[in-house]
Amino acid sequence: MRRLYSGCTFVHGNLEITHMESRGDTTFDLSFLETIEVVTGYVLILNNDADVIPLTNLVQIRGESLFQYKGNHYAFSVILSQNKGGLQMPSLKEINGNVMISHWSVCFTNTIEWDVLAKGSVTQIYERKPDDCDECDAACTDEEGTRRCWGPGPDLCQTVNRMECAWFCQNGTCFEEGMLGCCHPECLGCNDGWIDTACEYCRHYRYQGHCIPNCPPETFPYMDQCIRYEDYYEAHDINNT
């Protein structure tokens, strides 16, 4: 996994973190996962007891492929895992699909408001309470007085946007309330009006400063960018004839 994901920002496919079971004094350093920002498929955390799952820069799980479990399909699943340091995903904005937390013994998971992240159903099966979990930092207290966090410390808070977007805002995202406050549907968060150049992150692809659903014919997709064939040929000194 270290060889595959070190320095990786964009996972084209699925991210499976599985079967990391401690033996004696064995510990797992998964810090190489910190650079990942986008996973196009599903994320599966299965049967492991690494202390921390540090996906601190993960913004989006696109769910273009889904994990099948007992007849259902999930974009994000945690099964038979014990992680006292939590699933550290404070940058996460969207899970495009269903979420399942099963055989729960992962600290801080019960503090997360999953409904604001998941574009699907959320299933939480609390079969066992986590042992010796810390509490969320006081800095993670939201407007309702509830502490929500992905792990210990003030830098792992879950930030929940309580803004009431207008009903016609596509994908339910907005930067302010009212009919003029909708984000463009290709945006994951925005800082201006309904335009595809004001996105914090693109939902699909970025091309010439715009967030778009598909790359135009003269380009090809590379991670979350659309690359012009002409630019690629010039950069690699290829004779396109």
Domain boundaries, the chain: 2-156, 170-235
Fold category of 170-235 in CATH: 2.10.220
| Mean pLDDT for the stretch of residues 213-229 | 93
In tens, the pLDDT along 94-109 reads 999 999 988 666 888 8
Cα distance between residue 48 and residue 78, in whole Å: 10
Of 58-72, 102-116, 198-212, which range is least confident? 102-116
Does the pLDDT value for residue 240 go beyond 60? Answer: no
CATH number of the domain located at residue range(s) 2-156 in this protein = 3.80.20.20
The per-residue pLDDT for 43 is 97
pTM of the model: 0.86
Cα distance between residue 212 and residue 237, in whole Å: 28
In percent, the amount of the chain with pLDDT more than 90 equals 51
Does the pLDDT value for residue 241 go beyond 60? Answer: no
The per-residue pLDDT for 131 is 64
Q: What is the dihedral of CA 202, 220, 7, 54, to 10 degrees?
A: 40
| Mean pLDDT for the stretch of residues 73-91 | 89
In tens, the pLDDT along 163-173 reads 788 888 877 78
Q: What is the mean pLDDT of the chain?
A: 87
Cα distance between residue 216 and residue 35, in whole Å: 28
Between the ranges 36-40, 104-108, 118-122, 235-239, where is the mean pLDDT highest? 36-40
Confirm if 6 and 217 have CB atoms less than 8 A apart: no
Please list, in sequence order, all residues whose beta carbon lies within 8 angstroms of the beta carbon of residue 54, skipping any fewer than 6 positions away: 30, 31, 33, 34, 88
The per-residue pLDDT for 84 is 82
